[in-house]
Amino acid sequence: MNQQELNNKLSQIKAQLISIEQTADNRIYLSCEARNAYAVNKFLFEDVPLRFVIATGIDSDDCFEVIYHYAYDEIGCIINLKVFIRDRENPQLESIAPFLPAAEWIEREIHDLLGIDFKNHPNMRRLILADDWPQGVYPMRKEMDAKIARGWTCETSSRPAPESPARRTVPLGKPILPVGPFHPLQEEMEFFQLTTDGEIVTDIDMRISYNHRGIEKISESLQFDQVPYLVSRICGICSASHPTAYVNAVEEIAGVTPPDRARYVRTIICELERIHSHLLWVGLAGHFIGYDTVFMWAWKYREPVLDLLEEITGNRNNYGNVKVGGCREDIPDEIVPKMLKDLDEVEKKTEMLTKAVLDDPVLHARLKGVGTLSKEDAIRYAVTGPTARGSGIAIDVRRDDPYAAYADLDWNVIVQEQGDVFAKAVVRLLETLESVKMTKEAVQKLPKGPIAIEVKEIPPGEGCGHGEAPRGETFHYVRSDGGNRPIRHKVRAPSFVNVPSFRASCIGQHIADVTITLAAVDPCYSCTERLAVVDAHGNIVRDYEMLLQASRDKTAQMQKELGWPGLKLEDLQIG
């Protein structure tokens, strides 16, 4: 479907809309009243069909707005549906989660932060705010601005917390397995509660909030130029992707394009980030199934990449290198030869790791068919990144809606059909090699010229920026009123949609496979480090060490069955 056909399709629902507006080639804004929202959303998701990205709740002065963001990846188009809720006293919307599970979490989040009620939501419990957060206090409402500025925190409030449990209660007698709570991503620090029947997982429930820092609200108090420093600290390991997506959005509002050299520098930083992030993942995945050597080696190979980043930006992580209109630090020409040499080295080591994984019969036996996420579920949960590409969905923002210098470079999108842990591992490993190749090309082609243009004012307007982070699409929506701060800044990190897909991939799995299934999405490592199986009376019957041991024993057992002496890195060609 090209843009014209998409527009024709969208005009089929014209009667239910207030307006259709096309602000750029690939940005469409629709708007409608609250009563039509359900039907229009259903049409967009099921009939067009579009990929659900996220929804943004906004407190506009006279009404509440909920913006549903969708993407049509074939042409890289973002379609935003603005819904106006005029009743401020009793804001209500029909939930779309019954047909679109990907919307379940965000509706709960909007309910927590803005107090909008979603009718017929299958699971409306607290998601993002602390258990003891006072009832009826909605931090994203404008009336809270002054209080928060005066230092209000939930601890100083005298209002009572709600009585309804934020965790799902499980009938007595069923063994449950809590995983968590500590896990260090933006909104995605989780507590998992697995219900088990013998060794099989029968249900999974998640609780996040532990890591909720209120970044979207803090962002409204910062100037446009300060926000990149904040958003690079959403998730340390995506600290290039988030600011890049944010400046994409702001540059869209301001209508500026960064100079060529800046586009290349951004690409190089983003790709170096992907390389070290994927290597980090390979190491952790090795650790979970008992290949500790892989853990140590992969993390060792990652160091030169961090050193390069430090040399360019001044920090191993949290680079703060992008700004609206370009980049802050240039890549000095002197270090180009060293970069190329180091990248060659990284490439060799990654090839070695890839070969080790693809050739190891134990890994095939251990990871194939484990934690499978089918293509249908991947679409319903709207997953992105390697999690989607491992399930046969060929989406990649770098290709679909190119930003930075991706359109100028020669690279491939890696896709695997099976959807299991092995497929995701293969996607990440091959992707790392693509990234190394791409980075080398970008370094060689690095154009001359300035790295930034001056952007004086951000006009009123709204923009959507997205980018392909190591874990998937990060999406930023920014609205400006012409002042020097964003009046609304919505962030969706990839794990926010990838993590709920555990419901589809973990149920029916063996307990011994849970650690690796969770890790396959690469939500981050900490959650799996605090893990215990508790029986219905709250007694710990298994802790993290034992679960890890179960996972490792399973690998060892398979090694024995296959008569395989185990992976010996010494035997492999190491350069």
Partner 1 sequence: MWSLKKSVWVFHVNTGACNNCDIEIVDCLTPKFDIERLGIKLVGSPRHADALLVTGGVTAQAAPRLREVYRQTPKPCIVFAIGACACDKGIFTTGYHMVGPVDKIIKEVDPNAIIAYVPGCPPKPEAIISGVLKALAVL
Q: What residues make contact with ligand SF4 under the rule CB under 6 A? A: 233, 236, 318
Provide the CB-side half-sphere exposure for 466 (13 A, CA): 32
**Least spacing, CB of residue 520 vs partner 1, in Å:** 18
**Least spacing, CB of residue 523 vs partner 1, in Å:** 11
**Least spacing, CB of residue 302 vs partner 1, in Å:** 8
Name which of partner 1, ligand SF4, none residue 348 binds, using a CB cut-off of 5 to 8 Å depending on partner kind. Answer: none
CB atoms under 10 Å from CB of 316, counted, come to 16
Among residues 29 and 544, whose Cβ is nearest to partner 1? 544
**Least spacing, CB of residue 415 vs partner 1, in Å:** 27
**Least spacing, CB of residue 221 vs partner 1, in Å:** 6
**Least spacing, CB of residue 502 vs ligand SF4, in Å:** 25
Query: Kind of pairing, strands 200-208 and 322-323?
Result: unpaired
**Least spacing, CB of residue 315 vs ligand SF4, in Å:** 9
Among residues 228 and 259, whose Cβ is nearest to partner 1? 228
Provide the CB-side half-sphere exposure for 394 (13 A, CA): 8
For residue 134, the 8-state DSSP code is: P
Name which of ligand SF4, partner 1, none residue 237 binds, using a CB cut-off of 5 to 8 Å depending on partner kind. Answer: partner 1
Among residues 76 and 184, whose Cβ is nearest to ligand SF4? 184
Q: Quick one: 198 exposed, middle or buried, by C-beta within 10 A (0-12, 13-18, 19+)?
A: exposed
**Least spacing, CB of residue 125 vs ligand SF4, in Å:** 28
Name which of partner 1, ligand SF4, none residue 210 binds, using a CB cut-off of 5 to 8 Å depending on partner kind. Answer: partner 1
CB atoms under 10 Å from CB of 461, counted, come to 16
In DSSP terms, 66 is beta-bridged to: 57, 83
Q: Quick one: 433 exposed, middle or buried, by C-beta within 10 A (0-12, 13-18, 19+)?
A: buried
DSSP string, 54-77: EEEEEE-SSSEEEEEEEEETTTTE
Give helix then strand counts, H and E, for the chain: 20, 17
Alpha helices, DSSP H, located in 373-420: 375-380, 385-389, 397-400
Name which of ligand SF4, partner 1, none residue 535 binds, using a CB cut-off of 5 to 8 Å depending on partner kind. Answer: none
Among residues 284 and 373, whose Cβ is nearest to partner 1? 284
Provide the CB-side half-sphere exposure for 119 (13 A, CA): 9
Radius of gyration from C-alpha coordinates of the chain: 24
Among residues 27 and 233, whose Cβ is nearest to ligand SF4? 233
Name which of partner 1, ligand SF4, none residue 7 binds, using a CB cut-off of 5 to 8 Å depending on partner kind. Answer: none
Would you call 244 helix, strand, or coil by DSSP?
helix
Q: Quick one: 341 exposed, middle or buried, by C-beta within 10 A (0-12, 13-18, 19+)?
A: exposed
**Least spacing, CB of residue 538 vs partner 1, in Å:** 14
Among residues 234 and 262, whose Cβ is nearest to ligand SF4? 234
- Give the alpha-carbon dihedral of 11, 13, 19, 25, to 10 degrees: -40
Name which of ligand SF4, partner 1, none residue 211 binds, using a CB cut-off of 5 to 8 Å depending on partner kind. Answer: partner 1
**Least spacing, CB of residue 157 vs partner 1, in Å:** 10
Q: Are 224 and 243 in contact (CB under 8 A)?
A: no
Contacts of 483 (CB under 8 A, 6+ apart): none
**Least spacing, CB of residue 217 vs partner 1, in Å:** 6
Among residues 258 and 467, whose Cβ is nearest to partner 1? 467
Name which of partner 1, ligand SF4, none residue 556 binds, using a CB cut-off of 5 to 8 Å depending on partner kind. Answer: none
By beta-carbon distance, which residue lies closest to ligand SF4? 233
Where does this chain bind partner 1 (CB under 8 A)?
Answer: 129-133, 139, 144, 148-149, 152-155, 181-186, 189, 209-215, 217-218, 221, 229-230, 233-237, 239, 280, 283, 295-297, 299-300, 303, 316-318, 524-526, 529, 543-545
Name which of partner 1, ligand SF4, none residue 235 binds, using a CB cut-off of 5 to 8 Å depending on partner kind. Answer: partner 1
Among residues 167 and 233, whose Cβ is nearest to ligand SF4? 233
Among residues 262 and 493, whose Cβ is nearest to partner 1? 493
Among residues 122 and 236, whose Cβ is nearest to ligand SF4? 236
Name which of partner 1, ligand SF4, none residue 76 binds, using a CB cut-off of 5 to 8 Å depending on partner kind. Answer: none
**Residue 289: its H or E element:** none
Q: How far is CA 58 from the centre of its chain?
A: 21
Q: Distance (Å, rounded) from C-alpha 277 to C-alpha 190? A: 20
Name which of partner 1, ligand SF4, none residue 130 binds, using a CB cut-off of 5 to 8 Å depending on partner kind. Answer: partner 1
